[in-house]
Amino acid sequence: MAFEGDFPATGTRENWDAIVVGTGIGGLTAAAYLAASGRKVLALEAYDVAGGNSHMFRRRGAYEFDVGVHYLGDCGHGGILPSILSGLGIEDRVTFRPLDQERYDRVVLPSVTVEVPASWDRYRERLVAAMPEEAAGLSEFVTVCAAVADANRGRLLGVPGSDVMNLPPEIRRWNHRMLTQLFDHCGLSPRARTVLAATSGNYATAPNQTLVVLHANMVDDYMRGSYYPAGGGQALVAAFVEAIESHGGALWTNARVARIDVTDGRTTGVTLADGRKLNAPVVVSNADYRRTVLELAEGAFPAAAVKRSRDATMRLATSTTYVAMDRELDIPNGNVWYWPNEDIETAYRKVIEGDFDELPFAFMSFTSIKDHGTATVCPPGHANFEVMTLVPPGYEPWGVSEGPVNGGNYRRDPAYQKAKQRLTDGLLDLAEDILGPIRPHVTHVETATPLTHERYIRSSGGTPFGLATWGRAGHRPDVTTPVGGLYVAGQNTRFGAGIVSVAVSGVAAASAVMGEELMPEVYRGKVYGNSELLPERAPGWDPLEVSRGAGRKGERGLPRLRALSEQQALTH
C-alpha cells in the first residue's frame, strides 16, 4: 500500500502534522505513535541509516556489529519494551532472545567474582555469599534499591498504589539521594561498592554523581530478565520504521536539519541543511539536547534555559573495540564487567581528571553467543564481540583540539591514531585477562572513540548517555519545552539513557502531543497501531535497507554480506 507520506529525501512535500528530528529509538518511538494516531509524520535522519545508537554496521562482508544495543532488560511477557511494541502492533516483528538468567552479568574483580542473576532475592544471596563480612550492609542496599525501583516502575505504568511517597520513610528518603550516600549509610567497603556499581558503565556517572533511583531503575530492568533482540539493534529500528511508514508517515535519511524554525514562540517546522523548509506545528527533537537549545533552536529558549544548557555537563563517553575471531568462544551467555582496580570511586576520579594510563574497566558483550545461529552476525565457527570502557572527557586525550561537528579533521591525525591504538591494545589486554590469548585468532578489530560517536550522532561530549548535570546533578529536562509545539525525546530526558528508557521518552513525547497518557494504556493492552497495514517481509529482508526509508529502497551503496561459502573462506 502506498501512502502520501512515502517520499525520498529528495521529495518535495513541505507540509506535515509533525516532524521528528533524529531517529534514535526515542525519536522513532515518538514518530511511530504519532503516525499510528493518524498524523502525517516525517522522521528526519542526518546519517545514511536510521537508528542512532541502535545502528549496526557491517565489515568484510561477514560480520555485523552493534553500536549500542548490548542487552535489554524487562523484555519478557508484560515488559515495558514489549508493551511499547504491542501498542504499535509490531510485537511479532521483534524477537527477544534471553541471556542466561542465572548469570546475565559476571562481575569480575581480582579478589571476587559475582554472577548476577535476574532476581533481586538471588542477587542478594550471591552478594552475601561472596562478601559475608558485609552481609548487613549489602542486604540493606538491595532492599532499598528494589523497593525504590518497584515504586517508580509502578508509577510509570499507572499501577494503583505505586508511588514513592507510599514507601516507608527510611526507604523513601533515598529516592533522590546519591549512590555514594547510600554506600556510606550501609557501611560498605570500596570492594563492595565496586561490585554493586560495576555495571555503572550502563549510564556512565560516578557513584557520587548518580541518583539512587537511576541506579536502582537500571538494575531493576535486568532483574526482570535480560535479553538481546534477534538480528541486533537494527532489527528493532526497522520494526519502528515499518510502523511509521505503514501508517502514512515517512523516513528521510541523509537529511540533516540545520534549524528548528520558531515564530512568535511557536514551532513552525524545520529548515534542512540544503535550504529546504518543511512546515509542521509540532517538532519532536531527538537530537542532542544541548545542540537543540543552543544551535538548532537558537534564540527560541528563555535565557535561564539557555544558561542551564550551556553550563550543563555530560556523562562520560565510551570507547568500544569491535573484535571478530576465527574460532568460537566457549563461555556462558552473559556479559563480563572486569574491574582490575577494586576501588570504583578512585577509578572514576582518575577518568574524570583525564588519566588515560589505566583503563577503569572492560565491559565485554558477546554478540555471537547472544544471537547464536543468526547467520548475519558472523560465519559459522567464528566469534563476534565488543570490549568497552569509559574514557576521559574532552578532545585533549585524543591529541586533537576540536571535534568533527566543528570541522575537526581527526581521523588521520598521527596523535589521534596513536591514542586510539594505545586504547585498543589496552582493551585487548583486559579481554585476554578474561578470555585468554585471543590475538592469534583475531580476523577483524577496530575501535570507535568519542570522536567517532560525535561524528555520527552529533552528541555533546561524544557520549551516548546524555546529560550528567543540568542545573544540578541527576536533574534532566522533561519532554515538553518552553517553546510552543517543540518537544524532546532521547537519552537527555528525565527518563534516562538506555534503549528501554529512551523508548519510554518517545512514548512520553507522543503523549504530550496527543494529550493522552499512552504508557499506562499500552501496558494495559491498548493498541494504537494497525498490524494489518504492515508490509510483508520477503526472503532476504534486510533491516539496514528498511532503515534507509522507503524512498531509498533499492538504492546502491548498502553494505551486503557475502555468501556463506565466501564467509567460510575468510582467513587472516
Length of the chain equals 572
Contact in structure between 314 and 470 (CB atoms under 8 Å):
no
Quote the CA–CA distance of 297 and 19 in Å, as a whole number: 14
Q: What range defines the domain where residue 209 resides?
A: 118-224
- Within 10 angstroms of residue 515's Cβ, the number of other Cβ atoms is 6
Q: Is pLDDT at 9 greater than 60 in this prediction?
A: no
Do the domain assignments include residue 128? yes
Q: What is the pLDDT of residue 11?
A: 47
The region of weakest confidence among 131-140, 153-162, 385-394 is: 153-162
Asked if residue 481 lies in contact with residue 301, where contact means CB atoms within 8 angstroms, the answer is: yes
The mean per-residue pLDDT over the stretch 153-174 comes to 88
| 492 domain-assigned | yes
Task: Output 473 or 142, whichever has higher pLDDT.
Answer: 142
257 and 204 fall within a common domain:
no
Tell me the three cell numbers of residue 55.
Answer: 545502528
Would you say residue 6 lies in a domain?
Answer: no
Question: Considering the chain, what percentage of its residues have pLDDT values greater than 90?
Answer: 88
412, pLDDT greater than 50: yes
User: Which residues, 6+ apart, have CB-to-CB distance to 108 below 8 Å?
Assistant: 336, 337, 338, 339, 434
Tell me the mean pLDDT in the region 245-273.
98
Q: In 10 A of CB 563, how many CB atoms?
A: 10
In this structure, the answer to whether residues 142 and 185 fall within a common structural domain is yes
Report the pLDDT averaged over residues 451-468.
Answer: 94
Segment 430-459 mean pLDDT: 96
Question: Does the pLDDT of residue 570 top 70, yes or no?
Answer: no
Residue 563: pLDDT above 80?
no
Q: Are 117 and 123 in contact (CB under 8 A)?
A: yes
Domain boundary among 438, 460, 482: 460
Whether residue 538 is contained in a domain is answered as yes
d(CA 205, CA 282): 33
338 touches 433 (CB < 8 A): yes
Confidence tier at 166 by pLDDT (50, 70, 90): confident
Inform me whether the pLDDT recorded for 276 exceeds 70. Answer: yes
Whether pLDDT at 116 is above 90: yes
Measure the CA–CA gap between 290 and 292, rounded to whole angstroms. Answer: 5
Instruction: Please report which confidence band the pLDDT of residue 1 belongs to, taking 50, 70 and 90 as the band edges.
Output: very low
What is d(CA 193, CA 195) in angstroms, rounded to the nearest whole number?
5
Q: Give the end-to-end CA distance of the chain in Å, rounded to a whole number.
A: 47
Residue 295 CA, distance from chain mean position: 23
Q: Which residues of 472-483 are buried (b: 16+ CB within 10 A; e: fewer)?
A: ebbebbebebeb
Would residue 572 count as lying in a domain? no
How far is it, in rounded angstroms, from Cα 28 to Cα 36?
Answer: 12
Residue with more model confidence, 54 or 557 = 54
pLDDT above 60: residue 483: yes
**CB of 19 within 8 A of CB of 489?**
no
Q: What is the pTM of this model?
A: 0.95
Cα 312 to the center of its chain, rounded Å? 20
| pLDDT score of 309 | 96
The answer to whether the CB of 101 falls within 8 A of the CB of 226 is yes
Supply the pLDDT for residue 245: 98
On whether both 174 and 205 belong to a single domain, the answer is yes
Task: Tell me, yes or no, whether 395 and 519 share the same domain.
Answer: no
**Range list of H helices, 459-542:** 499-514, 518-523
Are 218 and 237 found together in one domain? no
Beta bridge partners of 266: 263, 484
Residues 6+ apart with CB under 8 A from 16: 5, 40, 41, 42, 269, 278, 279, 280
Decide if pLDDT at 10 tops 50.
no
Between the alpha carbon of residue 245 and those of residues 203, 332, 508, 534, 549, the distances in Å are: 32, 39, 21, 9, 8
Do both 302 and 332 map to the same domain? no
The C-alpha atoms of residue 452 and residue 257 are separated, in whole angstroms, by 20
Whether 509 and 521 share a structural domain: yes
Q: For residue range 371-398, what is the model confidence (pLDDT) as tens digits?
A: 998 889 999 999 999 999 999 999 999 9
Domain count, the chain: 3
Point out the domain boundary residue: 195, 224, 253: 224
Q: Is the pLDDT of residue 361 over 60?
A: yes
Q: What is the mean pLDDT of residues 547-564?
A: 85
Lowest mean pLDDT, pick from 207-211, 214-218, 320-324, 470-474: 470-474
Q: Per-residue confidence at 568, pLDDT binned at 50, 70, 90?
A: low
Q: What mean pLDDT is reported for the chain?
A: 94
Q: Of 46, 13, 530, nearest to 258 (Cα)?
A: 46
Of 160-169, 245-254, 479-488, 492-501, the range with the lowest mean pLDDT is 160-169
Please give the pLDDT value at position 567.
55
Task: Beginning with the edge strand found earlier in the chain, give each strand of the sheet holding 257-263 in spatial order.
Answer: 257-263, 266-272, 277-279
Any domain includes 11: no
Specify the DSSP element, H or E, that contains 366.
Answer: strand 362-366
Look at residue 5 in the predicted model and tell me its pLDDT: 39
Q: Is residue 1 part of a domain?
A: no
- Predicted pLDDT of residue 183: 98
167 and 150, same domain (yes or no): yes
Q: Is residue 475 part of a domain?
A: yes
Out of 460, 490, 516, a domain closes at: 460
SS3 (DSSP) at 11: coil
Measured CA to CA in angstroms, residue 310 lies from 248, 260, 320 at distances of 38, 18, 28
Which of 318, 313, 393, 387 has its CA nearest to residue 349?
A: 393
Confidence class of residue 356 from pLDDT cuts 50, 70 and 90? confident
pLDDT in tens, 84-97: 999 999 999 999 99
Q: Is 301 helix (H, G, I), strand (E, B) or coil?
A: coil
- Whether 299 and 326 map to the same domain: the answer is no
CATH number at residue 54: 3.50.50.60
Same domain, 443 and 473: no
Q: Which helix (H) or strand (E) holds 445?
A: strand 442-448
Q: How many Å apart are CA 78 and CA 442, to the nearest integer?
A: 40
Residue 189 grid coordinates: 567497603
Sign of CA dihedral 271, 276, 282, 287: negative
- Site of grid cell 542487552: 71
In this prediction, residue 569 carries a pLDDT of 55
Residues 495 and 348 in one domain: no
In this predicted structure, the answer to whether residue 475 has a pLDDT above a threshold of 90 is no
Res. 7 pLDDT band, cuts 50 70 90: very low
433 contact partners, CB below 8 Å, separation of at least 6: 338, 340, 362
Place of cell 533552536: 297
- Distance CA(174)–CA(171), nearest Å, equals 6
CA torsion, points 497, 499, 505, 510, in degrees to nearest 10?
160
Do 392 and 281 share a domain, yes or no?
Answer: no
